[in-house]
A and B are shown apart, each in its own frame.
Chain A
């Protein structure tokens, strides 16, 4: 009796039962899951559904003509390209800042550390006005730049500069904890094994940072693509040249072209989604490496 039971048990063991969810010792799954579902639905999915359902008043051709307007296309290109370049630049700058904040001890370090978060806290319009003042023709930075023939304010470069300021904390804050956790011994091991500074950074430190860098990049990029307040003051908003996509949406709204505004919104949504899915896939590939 008992042997036959054991036999059945051992036979059924290798066949893995498919659970709808992994059994967990934590109670409250139904409640927590229900709440999560409700909240995600209310805060994210419902507004998105409203957005996606909006632009079809004039059919698919109306949707396409709204997006394919040269002015809209130019603004989409500017928003996403500026976001990509600013995020890339922020990856470099952010690693440098995080490196200094974690690896060195100096007076005022905690103040610097707190300052990094300022773009989070600052109303974006305030940042925009400050940047526009600095970089305008008579500004502290704008006038010397003007002298060497570089115009920042009221050009696409201005958009890039604004996104640089907005995106930095995302990279710093995602890289910093990883750098903090990285044992000094790892770098010391590389050094004693004969690696020079360049080899240590490119072969040891950066690969270890890669997942954090990607998520910092993704957040800076997503934020940059949708950024409005800090950009419009410095960009000058010349249609087709320095006008960002969110501003096109606003101006369409002001002309009561709700379906056109929603069409541009859906286009931004799709591009962002595609980019973030791609980054996520990369991230999974990175984190699989070296784990289990």
Chain B
């Protein structure tokens, strides 16, 4: 089943929640709508489900005009963050609800519904819980019931709104892989709304990164990682160091620091270089390329260590190094810092470090 969302706009009062958003989901695809809160991802999901009406645009599912159908006619499986289970019904009744409420002729027989419920209890690995009430289940089990309920009536598409938001980390990771397995077994086209970039990148075939009601970038996790379309995308997908720089010939420069800009970079001038701690390299030798820094602290445990450095200008920069390389550094030592790849935010004026790093104690660089 293919979903085609075309130029959807939606305003709440004067707040533009969605601004001409277009995307397509291929048959059986797993999409993640990713973005900070207020980016419009949940609104887009509710527009697709029929719970919110867009001001403009169209939504087609396999050629069917979704906007002409009410939420109950769309046959869309929706999973809510707070489960939204029916508390006075058993798990089995909850799962069967979508089939139970069908009008006379199209309602499956009692046995057929029971068989379908058993099938879904097995699919979501909650066999034996059919007779319990939601209040008797753990959060993870409740969300499994919600997924089973949304799948029971064979929806055209499965939509999940921050489904793991209310769960603790361990259960969240477990359910995450379960969700992918359930998707792969059923082949249902799935759209997941999340603000957790790790979740989106780990689960989805393609990620739709949204910001302020618009799509910043749409692509596979690999594409978003390798070729971020904007500094926002790069910053949203992981931790970043920020360093003022000059841009010349596709390279970001600052006092010995010279790093290639992802995608080359066409504009010249001043800006801020954004780069990941994991892309940051440190050299302890006295001479050579690199921004002169002083090691402030070596932290972390295990295979990866985080080394906090301070540049002469006062900027704090973090480098993530494997244990055997991090061993060369200790607090107070001088080093030279470079990055494998950077993204440059041209618009951003380089901030006064003493103002933007008030929380960090200023140290003299000897």
Contact = CB atoms under 8 A, between A and B. Distances in A.
Contacts of A190: 86, 97, 101
A139 B74 CA distance: 53
Contacts of A195: 72, 97, 101
Grouping DSSP codes into helix (H, G, I), strand (E, B) and loop, the A interface class, with mixed when no group exceeds half, is helix
B76 interface: yes
Interface in B51-76: 51, 70-76
A4 B202 CA distance: 53
Interface string B130-143: 00011110000000
B72 A203 contact: no
Interface in A179-215: 183, 185-186, 188-196, 199, 203-204, 207-208, 210
A291 B87 CA distance: 9
Nearest to A199: B101
B88 to A, nearest CB: 4
Interface string B72-90: 1111111010101111110
A185 B88 contact: no
Contacts of B271: none
Interface in A221-240: none
A290 B133 contact: yes
A192 B50 contact: yes
A288 to B, nearest CB: 10
A256 B82 CA distance: 64
Name, among B77, B86, B153, the residue most crowded by chain A CB atoms within 10 Å (CB to CB): B86
Contact of B136 (A191, A193, A292): A292
Interface residue SS majority, chain B = loop
Contacts of A210: 88
Given A186-B86, A204-B86, A193 B97 contact: yes
Contacts of B50: 192
A289 interface: yes
Contacts of B80: 185, 188-189
Interface in B165-209: none
A121 B86 CA distance: 37
Interface of A: 183, 185-186, 188-196, 199, 203-204, 207-208, 210, 289-292
Given A192-B71, A193-B153, 19 more contacts: A188-B71, A188-B80, A189-B84, A189-B85, A189-B86, A191-B51, A192-B49, A192-B72, A192-B76, A193-B101, A193-B150, A195-B101, A199-B101, A207-B88, A208-B87, A210-B88, A290-B87, A290-B133, A292-B135
Interface of B: 49-51, 70-78, 80, 82, 84-89, 97-98, 101-102, 133-136, 149-150, 153
